[in-house]
Amino acid sequence: MKKKNLMIVAMLTFMISSSVKLNAQFEAGRKMIGLNMSYNSEEDVSVGSTSNNTRKSTNMQLSPQFNYFFNNNISLGIGIAILNSSIEDESAWGGKSKTTTSGFGLMVGSRIYANNDHKLRFYANPQIGLMSISGEKEDLSSTPGPKQTMKSTNMGLMVGGGFTYMLSKNWGLDLGIGNLAAVTSSSMEVKTEGIADPDTQKSLDFTLTPLDLGTFTFGINYFF
């Protein structure tokens, strides 16, 4: 098992084993501000019939948010998402490219917490979001091809969840479990250097996301 997987299992085990009773103050009228983040770095080598292809990727996301509890254990919130990613592809025959992207999004949704008075609270997190992403792909081989730039707009209805572990009545540690299911509509425009007309792609997708390291976010919440 990977070291990162062991860290996640250890954190969940500690949180569950420490779930003694505590008034976590999730009453109507209270507020919460929080910051979640995720960082994932991977290297993948695919073996073909005659050569190996290598892909290195890094992804980082920051998600500050504000929530208001309009009912006991149920909050309505707004947040932003800031994304940055980088992908480097290299093939044994000399091809090499780098793609970098950045994005900014607005999210509106709800947190529906389990009705208990333990330190550990599970929550469901349905939300809708609008994300704008831009990026570029550069050919780094010895005979480089034209550079490409990309712009996309994504709208989606997503359902995720997570756990909040209350350190006190005001402070909580948060483990988010990404977007487990989503319906998304996207429009992407790709411009290639030297070609006048951009390539436009549109799609409507339903996805079920498997759990992996890129799915989890970690953060801290302040309740007041």
User: What's the pLDDT score for residue 8?
Assistant: 56
Residue 1 pLDDT: 44
Q: Residue 19: what pLDDT? A: 45
Q: What is the rounded distance in angstroms from the CA atom of residue 66 to the CA atom of residue 32?
A: 6
Strand partners, 80: 106
CATH code, domain carrying 36: 2.40.160.20
What is the predicted pLDDT for the residue at 54? 87
The CA-based diameter of the chain, rounded to the nearest angstrom, is: 65
Q: Write out the chain's pLDDT in tens, 224 residues.
A: 444 554 555 555 555 544 445 555 799 999 999 999 998 888 877 755 556 788 899 999 999 999 999 999 999 999 999 999 999 988 877 788 899 999 999 999 999 999 888 889 999 999 999 999 999 999 888 788 888 999 999 999 999 999 999 998 899 999 998 888 889 999 999 999 888 888 898 888 888 876 665 578 999 999 99
Give the Cα separation of 163 and 174 in Å (integer). 6
Residue numbers of the domain that contains 95? 3-223
pLDDT for position 17:
47
Residue type at position 214: G
Query: In total, how many domains does the chain have?
Result: 1
DSSP state of 24: -
Q: Using an 8 Å Cβ cutoff, are 118 and 78 in contact?
A: no
pLDDT at residue 178 in the model: 80
- CA pair distance 88, 138, nearest whole angstrom: 10
Count CA atoms closer than 13 A to 141's CA, side-chain side. Answer: 16
